[in-house]
Structure 1
Amino acid sequence: MNKFNSMITVALLAVTFTACKKNSDEPIVVVPPSDGNTLTLNGLVGTELGSAAGNSVYLDFSADKQTSVARSSWDLGFYSGADFRVIINNTTGAGAKVITASNASLATVSEADTLGLTLAVNQANPANTDFAYFDAINGNLSNTVIPAVSATAADNKIIILNRGTGGGIAARSWIKLKVTRNASGGYTLQYGKIKETTNFTTVDIPKDANFDFKFVSLTNGAIVNVQPEKANWDLVWTYSVYQTLFSNVLVPYNFSDLIFLNNLNGVSAGVVATSTVSYADFKESNISAVNFKNERTAIGSDWRSTSPATGVKIDIFYVIKDVAGNVYKLKFISMGAGDAGTRGKPVIDYKLVKKG
């Protein structure tokens, strides 16, 4: 009986080894990048106005994929790179302030510490000083409201957060929070509503090298999916805190229909005037004349106009270089009353010009 069992064991090992060897010799299938497509972006959650579209929409040209994520589904993003940084949700108009008192704690910070604070964009009378409430619109991680998370737990401050009501988001309780590093190489978040003195929620957030950020909702303390993996998106269409001139002074302002690039992972963009070359005629030989910018706001709001009626600009198009080096030309077709489009559901066209 033992001899019979031994023979079966040897046979199974041989089959397993052969199967593994066969699998290792199989070719790896590489999916070629998309040649292009025409897409209608799904910016609307429900029946909200298009100017207050509830979704952010992430686009991956090479995969012909769009990913819609409710702007209100997250509050904090925890950076997975070498540094320890936390971002707040500019797409809801969230604002924050650091409590600098050395003896401040989650138990002692209260509503009294919010007196005189709005931590929000004043659309009617914006002020340059209000930039201090928001993360840098260019995505610079050295300029976040929440300071870099120190390895010394006691050095990390209490933060007051207004979760934001930008673009029709329902008002929610203000939050007080503290972030420290944990022994696993990630973050520990402790938070509660501004009136709480006990029973704070604790969440551990690991770093994940496949993503730029891991996101947390303060509604229930859950880690939620927001951005796709960092190599799998090129740009995002969204409502967000941006900037404008008000009485000749640069101020923060909430904008609809913004385009931000995945610049942290090398995506860049350049603008082309149709008076130079048409969208249809633009080809690989024209790429060398494009001034590519690896900036989050390289497109911003410049692709559309709100006067005399909201619509796309027809005298320009864009050229996008993605993470893999693929080059696409991108044209906005419609987005509002001025071009017979639907606000909150812009239509785009993109074509592969050069494979990376």
Structure 2
Amino acid sequence: MNKFNSMIAIALIAATFTACKKDTEEPVVVVPPSDGSTLTLNGLIGAETGSAAGNSVFVDFSTDKQTAVARAAWDLGFYCGADFRVILNNTTSAGAKVITTANASLATVGEADTLGLTLAVSQANPLPAHFAFFDAIDGNLSNTVIPAVSATAAENKVIILNRGTGGGIAAKSWIKLKVTRNASGGYSLQYGKIKETTNFTTVDIPKDGNFNFKFVSLNNGAVVNVEPEKANWDLVWTYSVYQTTFGSDLVPYNFSDLVFINKLAGVSAAAVSTSTKSYAAFAEADLPAITFSSARNVIGSNWRLTQPVTTNGVTTPIGVKADTFFLIKDASGNIYKLKFNSFISNDGGTRGKPVIEYKLVKKG
């Protein structure tokens, strides 16, 4: 066989091998979204009371999956989007203050800078001014206590942090910290206890575009997973700082059983009154009349009552609100109808383990 014929033979063998390889490749399987389910959310870690459930529970409707994460497992969240933002742990009622004193540093800020500070929710005497301690309850990243992290390291301020005791969380040492950008495009966190003057811990936090945030526990300086990947959850049920009316003022207040949607990943929602359409009867044909909202707290506490309410002589008892259900549009365009079946003994449920039911209305 001459050289030319040898080359042809080799080419034919390679082509045959390639063809065979293509024939044996596994097909890409596209898993359809769930048609719906009923879930009992696992809010309880142990023997804690249901009104102080220790877990936040993330839910993904399209996969019928819930992910329970201890509220106390993290202290700070570092945004993975284009901006450089750091969030406090609202689920422990963590509060913070920016030190604006000229030339303040981790070495110079100390116990004297905490005098008169609570950085906490007052359940007995909440004041509108206390909102300044906490990140915006609507999840607006332009309204965090810690300012946007500047590319100029010297412009970033020292922060005093009370890590929070909301909902039965054990008290932890107050922390002073400073966040800067690192050379890898992520964050660098330096922190220590309030009285510390020299021994500070440094943690680098990389951005990961698969997540809304990467989280840090200041107990051990570890980067921890809290939220599932941003495409893999639609809402979270949790305890958190929220708001209420006290006298005539809107004030921060600790709430149990709050529900927030994953607005940063494009999830939106809407409330539907059963006087308009029942949960069972609501169908795709009813969607054109619906206006979806991307507000993080569009559901909030609007799905349940912890005190009876009397309107026009009619009393609505403690429990889930039977006159309201919700629609959830996920990032893929799937639309689910959602109702809460129980959450407390008054409605046949267990506090800390709410039961939800959802059904696919329209596939994205």
TM bin, normalised by shorter chain, reads over 0.9
Instruction: Give the paired residue count.
Output: 346
Displacement, 1:58? 0.3
Which residue does the alignment assign to 1:311?
319
Which residue does the alignment assign to 2:6?
none
Change (3 A) 1:20 1:280: same
Q: 2:359 aligns with which of 348, 351, 355?
A: 351
Distance (Å, rounded) in 2 between the aligned partners of 1:331 and 1:241: 24
Q: Flag structure 2 segments of 5+ consecutive residues without an equivalent.
A: 1-9, 309-316
Please tell me the root mean square deviation across aligned C-alpha atoms, in Å. Answer: 1.9
Q: Deviations along 1:12-38, whole A, 9 cap, x unmatched?
A: x969x7499538954211100000000
Letter in 2 for 1:342: T
Question: Is residue 127 of structure 2 the alignment partner of residue 119 of structure 1?
Answer: no
Which residue does the alignment assign to 1:5?
none
Q: Deviations along 1:90-121, whole A, 9 cap, x unmatched?
A: 00000000000121111111111000000000
Which residue does the alignment assign to 1:296?
296
Question: Is residue 339 of structure 2 the alignment partner of residue 331 of structure 1?
Answer: yes
Distance (Å, rounded) in 1 between the aligned partners of 2:154 and 2:286: 55
Distance (Å, rounded) in 2 between the aligned partners of 1:345 and 1:273: 24
Change (3 A) 1:19 1:173: farther
Taking structure 1 as the reference length, what is the TM-score of the superposition?
0.94
Which residue does the alignment assign to 2:3?
none
Q: Deviations along 1:52-99, whole A, 9 cap, x unmatched?
A: 000000000001000000000000000011110000000000000000
Change (3 A) 1:340 1:19: farther
Distance (Å, rounded) in 1 between the aligned partners of 2:323 and 2:226: 33
Taking structure 2 as the reference length, what is the TM-score of the superposition?
0.92
Change (3 A) 1:200 1:276: same
Which residue does the alignment assign to 1:244?
244
Letter in 2 for 1:323: A
Moved over 6 A (4+): none
Q: Flag structure 1 segments of 5+ consecutive residues without an equivalent.
A: 1-9
Letter in 2 for 1:138: D
Change (3 A) 1:289 1:111: same
Letter in 2 for 1:192: G
Distance (Å, rounded) in 2 between the aligned partners of 1:175 and 1:44: 28
Question: Is residue 219 of structure 2 the alignment partner of residue 211 of structure 1?
Answer: no
Question: Is residue 194 of structure 2 the alignment partner of residue 198 of structure 1?
Answer: no
Which residue does the alignment assign to 2:135?
135
Which residue does the alignment assign to 2:22?
22
Which residue does the alignment assign to 1:98?
98
Identity of aligned residues (%): 76
Indicate conservation of the 8 Å contact 1:58/1:66, yes or no. yes
Which residue does the alignment assign to 2:32?
32
Letter in 1 for 2:202: T
Distance (Å, rounded) in 1 between the aligned partners of 2:25 and 2:43: 44
SS at match of 1:330: strand
Which residue does the alignment assign to 1:7?
none
Which residue does the alignment assign to 1:4?
none
